[in-house]
Structure 1
Amino acid sequence: MANEGMRVNFDHGRFIKGLARGLGGALLFALPLFLTLEMWELGLYIDRHRLLLLLLVNVPLLIFLARRIGFENVTTWREALRDACIAYLLGVVGSASVLSIIGVLRFGQAIPDQIGMIAVQAVPASIGALLGRSELGSAGEDRDDDQEAIDDDQNVGYGSELFMMAVGALFLGLNVAPTEEMILVSFKMSPWHAVAVILASILLMHGFVYVVSFIGGHDLEEGTPGWHALVRFTCPGYVVAFAISLYCLWTFHRLDGMDLTQAIMATVVLGFPSAIGAAAARLIL
C-alpha cells in the first residue's frame, strides 16, 4: 500500500519538467566544452584508465549532488541514485547530440574514439544537468517542504559545504583544465606570481561568500571573529580546489613529463578558476 501511495504522490509532470531543465542545464553549462578543440582531441588520446576513473568518480559526486538538487523531490538515497543516473544519461545524450550536430562525431569514425569523446564531455554535462534544476527552476517550485525535509546536516553541515565547493571547483576546473593556456601561463609565472595567485584566490573566495553580499552569501554570527570563517571554510575550500585542480590536470595528461615545481605552478594557475567555482557553489547550491 505504501508503494501505491508513493506512485500516486509522484508528480510526473514536474519530473518531466525537471528532465527538460536537466537537458537545458547540460547544454548551457557544458556548451563551451562541446566547442573546445582540446576536449575533442582529449577523447582520442586520454588514457582509458584515467578516463574510467573520472567516470567512476563522477558517480558518487552526482549522487550526493542529486541528494541536494534532484530532478524531483529527493528524500532518499535511492531517489538520489535514480536522479544521478538520469543526469549521466542526459549528459551522454546531450554530448552525443551536440558533437554530432557540429560534425565532430561522424559515421565511419572508430567506435573507441567516439566513445572517448562522448565520455569526456558527459562528465561536465551531467553535472550541468543537475545544476539546471537549481539554476533554471522556477522560483519557489523547487524549495518546497519535502525538499526542505532533508537532514540539516546534509544541507548546512561542514562536510556538505566542502563537498559543494568540490563540485564547483571540479565543474569550473573541467572547463579550462584541457586548454593549453593553463600550462602556458604557468611557464610565464615566477614563484612570486604563484604566491600572488594563491592569495588572490583565497581572498576572492572569502569575499564572494562573506564580504560582498551576493545572494546566497553567508553572514558571520554575532561575536564570531572574522578569521574564523577564513580558517574553517575558505582555506580548507582552497585546499579542496587545489586538489581538484591537480586531479584534473593529471587526468588530462597536462602534468606528464613535468617536474614537481612546474606541476605545482600549473596547479596554482588552474586553482584560481577552480577556487572561484568553489566559492560560487557555496552561493548557488
Structure 2
Amino acid sequence: MSSESNSRPVHKSLKEYARGITGGLLFSFPLLYTMEVWWAGFIAEPLDLMVLVAVTYLLLLGYNRFAGMHPEASWKHVFINSVEEMGIGLLISFGVLLMLNRIQLTDMSIDEVMGKVIIEAMAVSIGVSIGTAQLGTKEDNKDKTEQQSDERRTKLGFFVLGICGAIVVGGNVAPTEEIIMIAVEAAPGHILAMAIVSLFISVVVVFFSNFKGTVSKSKKLLFFDMAFDTCVSYVTSLGVSAFVLWFFGRFDGVSFWVAFQHVIVLGVLASLGASAGRLLIK
C-alpha cells in the first residue's frame, strides 16, 4: 500500500463511504422491495448462502481490481476494500429490511433473519463498490482513469466488468415471477428472437454506440473483434443468468428446455448489463 493511500484524509474516506452507501441503495433498492428475494432468504440453505457470499466476494475483488476506489492500491488493500463493502452491504440490508418490517428481531428465527439479510446484502455490496467508483467528481476520478485505462481494456478486465454489469442489470428481475411467466408462455420463435436481440444489443452497444469506454477498432480487425467480444459478452450474460436463476431455485423440477428458456429470457437484460455495464460501470 502506498504512503499516499495510508495518509488519505478522513474527509475523503467519509465521502467514499457516502458514495458507497448511495450506490448500494441506488443499484439494489428494487431487490430490497422484492417479495421473491425475501422468500429466497427464508428458505435458503447455509451452503447456498456460503456459495453466494464467496461468489460475491470474488466479484468485488475483480471489480475493485479493475475499477476500484484506489488505483494505486495493492492486492491487500483490494481485499480489505472488498470486506468493507460487504460489511456496509450487510448493515444497509439489515437497516432497510428492519425499516420495511421484513425482519423482526423478536418474532423471527435467527436463521430467517440472517438468510434475508445476507441475500440482500450481496446485491447491495456490489452497488456499494460501484458507488464508490462511479459517483465521485471528475477530479476524484481523473487519476484513477489515467492509471487504470490500460488494465480495463484487457480481455480479463472486460470479462470481470461484464459479469458485474450483468448481475446489476439482470439480478433485479431474476427472482421475479414475470421471468417464469414469459419463459413458459414463449414459443420457440419468441426464444429465438430474444437470443437474436440480445446479440444485436451487444453489437450495437459495444461497437456502434460511441459510449464512453468504447475503443476505436482497425477495419481489418473489426469483424474479428465484433464476433469475439459479442460472443464473450453473450456467453457471460447467459452464465450469469443461469447462476442467478439456479440460486433462486428457478430450475427446480423443470425440464432442460424450460430452464433454457428461463436463461434466454433473462439473458436479454443480462446481455445489456454485460455489454453496456463494462463500458459505463468503471
Q: Give the deviation of 1:224 after TM superposition.
A: 3.0
Is residue 240 from structure 1 mapped to residue 236 from structure 2 by the alignment? yes
Structure 2 portions without partners, runs of 5+: none
% same residue: 27
Q: TM-score, normalised by structure 1?
A: 0.92
- Alpha-carbon displacement from aligned partner over 1:168-199 (angstroms, at most 9, x marks no partner): 11222221111111111001111121111011
1:58 aligns to 2:68 (yes or no): no
User: Where does residue 165 of structure 1 map in the other structure?
Assistant: 162
Is the contact between residue 185 and residue 269 of structure 1 (CA under 8 Å) also seen in structure 2? yes
Distance 1:7 1:159, change over 3 A: closer
Aligned to 1:197: 194
- Deviation of residue 283 (structure 1)? 1.6
1:85 is matched with which residue? 83
Q: Say whether the 8 Å CA contact 1:29–1:125 is kept in structure 2.
A: yes
Aligned residues of 1:177 and 1:270 also touching (Cα < 8 A) = yes
Q: State whether residues 75 and 150 of structure 1, in contact with CA within 8 Å, keep that contact through their aligned partners in structure 2.
A: no
1:218 aligned residue (209, 215, 218): 215
Counterpart Cα distance in 1 of 2:44 and 2:174: 13
Q: Which residue of 2 aligns with 1:283?
A: 279
TM-aligned CA deviation for residue 150 of structure 1: 4.8
Q: Residue 254 of structure 1 corresponds to which residue in structure 2?
A: 250
Cα separation, partners in 2 of 1:192 and 1:118, compared to 1, 3 Å = same
- Per the TM alignment, residue 7 of structure 1 is displaced from its structure 2 partner at its CA by 6.8
Q: Give the match's secondary structure for 1:182.
A: helix
- Distance change in 2, residues 1:139/1:202 (3 Å): same
Aligned pair 1:132/2:131, yes or no?
yes
Which of 178, 181, 186 matches 1:181? 178
RMSD over aligned Cα, in angstroms? 1.9
Deviation string 1:124-146 (CA, Å, 9 cap, x unpaired) is: 1000001102321111312316x
Partner of 1:107: 105
Local SS of the residue matching 2:139: coil
Q: Decide which moves more: 61-70 or 182-191.
A: 61-70
The equivalences for 1:71-82 within 5 A come to 71-82=69-80
- Could you list the per-position Cα deviations for residues 182-236 of structure 1 after superposition, in whole angstroms to 9, with x for gaps in the alignment? 1110011111211110110011111012112223333323x33442222211111
2:260 corresponds to which of 251, 260, 264: 264
Measured in 2, the distance between the counterparts of 1:242 and 1:74 equals 33
Helix, strand or coil at the partner of 1:140: helix
TM-score scaled to structure 2, two decimals?
A: 0.93
2:68 aligns with 70
The answer on 1:13 being equivalent to 2:18 is no
Unaligned runs of 5+ in 1: none
Query: What is the CA–CA distance in structure 2 between the aligned matches of 1:164 and 1:72, rounded to whole Å?
Result: 17
Q: 1:258 to 1:168 in 2, by over 3 A?
A: same
Q: Which whole-Å deviations, capped at 9, do the CAs of 1:68-97 have from their partners, x for residues lacking one?
A: 333344421111111111110111111111
Q: Which amino acid aligns with 1:52?
A: M
Using the TM superposition, name which of 91-100 and 162-171 deviates more.
162-171
In the TM superposition, residue 16 of structure 1 has moved relative to its aligned partner by 1.7
* Higher alpha-carbon deviation: 191-200 or 154-163: 154-163
Provide the rounded CA distance (Å) in 2 between the counterparts of 1:7 and 1:243.
Answer: 36
Q: Does structure 1 retain, via aligned residues, the 8 Å contact 2:5–2:73? A: no
Counterpart CA distance in 2 for 1:232 and 1:255 is 29
Query: SS of 2:176's equivalent?
Result: coil
The 8 Å contact of residues 67 and 148 in structure 2, kept in 1 or not, is answered as: no
The letter of the residue matching 1:142 is N
Give me the whole-angstrom Cα distance separating, in 1, the residues matched to 2:196 and 2:47.
35
**Are residues 204 and 236 of structure 1, via their aligned partners in 2, closer, same or farther at CA, if it must alter by over 3 Å?**
same
Change (3 A) 1:205 1:8: closer
